[in-house]
Structure formats: C-alpha cells, structure tokens
A and B are shown apart, each in its own frame.
Chain A
Amino acid sequence: AQKVTQAQTEISVVEKEDVTLDCVYETRDTTYYLFWYKQPPSGELVFLIRRNSFDEQNEISGRYSWNFQKSTSSFNFTITASQVVDSAVYFCALSEAYSGAGSYQLTFGKGTKLSVIP
C-alpha cells in the first residue's frame, strides 16, 4: 500500500528565511505521481506542483523549488526568502496505480503547518 510521511508537523520561521518541507513516500509501483498542495488559513486546497516518477528533474518556480530523489523516496519542497503569505498547511500526496472510475486516487501526508513570523 502507498504511504506518504511528512515528519514535520509544524515549522516556524522568521520572514526571509529559507525553509524546507520534507516528504517521504512508499510505493510498490514503478510509475507513480507526486504532488504538493497548499492549504492557507482560508481553507481551500491549492495545487502547487506535480512530478511524475520517470521525471527526476528538479523544478524551480519563483521562490519555490522541489527536489525529487527516487533513491531516497523523497520529494522535498523548499521556500526561499519566506513571506508571511506562505503561512499555510502544506500537503504532499502520491497517486500510483489506476484506481478505477478514471481516477488515480491521492494518498495524502498529514501535512506540515508552516508559520512565517514577520
């Protein structure tokens, strides 16, 4: 069975610091998909990034970057020069084998609550 572990329950940083959110996953499939979602205090779930298992290229989007390492089954998320607006709960998620009904169901980690202090 697939599993996603986000060992950091809560992190606090001072504005402008860099912060890395860890995500470790378990899967028996050779093809799978990894995601990060952001849940700000307003409660909605915002898609940030998707990474396919066959694409190990790291990605940078503005202040956000993602480090995917198959050898350690990790998909870590770094925010550079954090801002107060980055305060949110961040979820890592995994989908693997086809679940039926045209779906690839997501298994979520328990989330990391990031607080950025001004």
Chain B
Amino acid sequence: DTAVSQTPKYLVTQMGNDKSIKCEQNLGHDTMYWYKQDSKKFLKIMFSYNNKELIINETVPNRFSPKSPDKAHLNLHINSLELGDSAVYFCASSPLTSPARETQYFGPGTRLLVL
C-alpha cells in the first residue's frame, strides 16, 4: 500500500534525450511537489502543483515541466537532458487542509544518471 510511488527507481540515459518520471499518490492529497536532491544531498523544491495552479521555482530550467493527468499523478518531463541533471528526484504530496496539519509525504526517489 505505497502512499507515494515513483517510476522508474533508476534511470540512466544519454545527454540530449527526453525522459519522464512518473509519480502517483493514493493518499487523496490535493497538492503535489517535485524536489531535486543533488550529489551533496541538498534538497531543493522544483514545483508545487494542484489542479488549479502551478508554482515553479525560478531556478528550474524550462526544460523541466510537470504534467498532471489527474489529481493523483504528477509526472516530471525533462527535455534535452544535461549532465548536471543527474540527481535524485523526489515526488511528494500533502493534503490541502489547514496549514497546521500540512505535512509532505515523499516518494522513494528516482535516481537519474545522465551520461
């Protein structure tokens, strides 16, 4: 009964390719996120999204785009992959309830290696 799942777990690809990472949550949450963890373990927000609004971190290149077919899914599409895109990408979700109860739950991560 995985709450937040991501596929694939590992992704190895060549520079210049286009790839997608899928994320699904079965928690009934309204908001989903993508975070990037670099080689030094630093975690940084990339996107926040619900079915009405997308918030993009200003440092994210426009080669990255989130796509949401429905409320339970937020996929990450990456165009023209670069070496610097190699990282672990985490999906997360949280309920749109009162902020006092706002907690994000993370998927297992996708390790992307660009050669």
Query: Hey, which bits of chain A sit against chain B, CB under 8 A?
Result: 31, 33, 35, 37, 39, 43-47, 50, 52, 89, 91, 93, 95, 98-108, 110-111, 113
For A93, list chain B residues within 8 Å (CB): 43
The 3 closest A-B pairs by CB, nearest first: A103-B48, A45-B106, A101-B53
Can you sample 20 A-B contacts with CB below 8 Å?
Answer: A31-B99, A35-B104, A39-B41, A43-B108, A44-B106, A44-B107, A44-B109, A45-B109, A47-B103, A91-B43, A100-B55, A101-B48, A102-B31, A102-B48, A102-B52, A103-B48, A105-B45, A105-B55, A108-B42, A110-B41
For B106, list chain A residues within 8 Å (CB): 37, 44-47
Total interface residues on B, using CB and 8 Å? 33
A33 pairs with B102, CB closer than 8 A: yes
Query: Hey, which bits of chain B sit against chain A, CB under 8 A?
Result: 30-31, 33, 35, 40-45, 48-50, 52-55, 88, 90, 92, 94, 96, 99-100, 102-109, 111
Q: Given A33-B99, A108-B43, is A102 in contact with B108 using a C-beta cutoff of 8 Å? A: no
- Inter-chain pairs besides A45-B106, A91-B43, A105-B45, 14 sampled, C-beta below 8 Å: A43-B88, A43-B108, A43-B109, A47-B103, A47-B106, A50-B103, A98-B99, A100-B53, A102-B50, A103-B31, A105-B55, A106-B35, A108-B43, A111-B43
Name the residue on A nearest B49 (C-beta): A101
* Chain A CB within 10 A, most for which of B43, B53, B90, B100: B43
A31 → chain B, closest Cβ, in Å?
8
For B44, list chain A residues within 8 Å (CB): 108
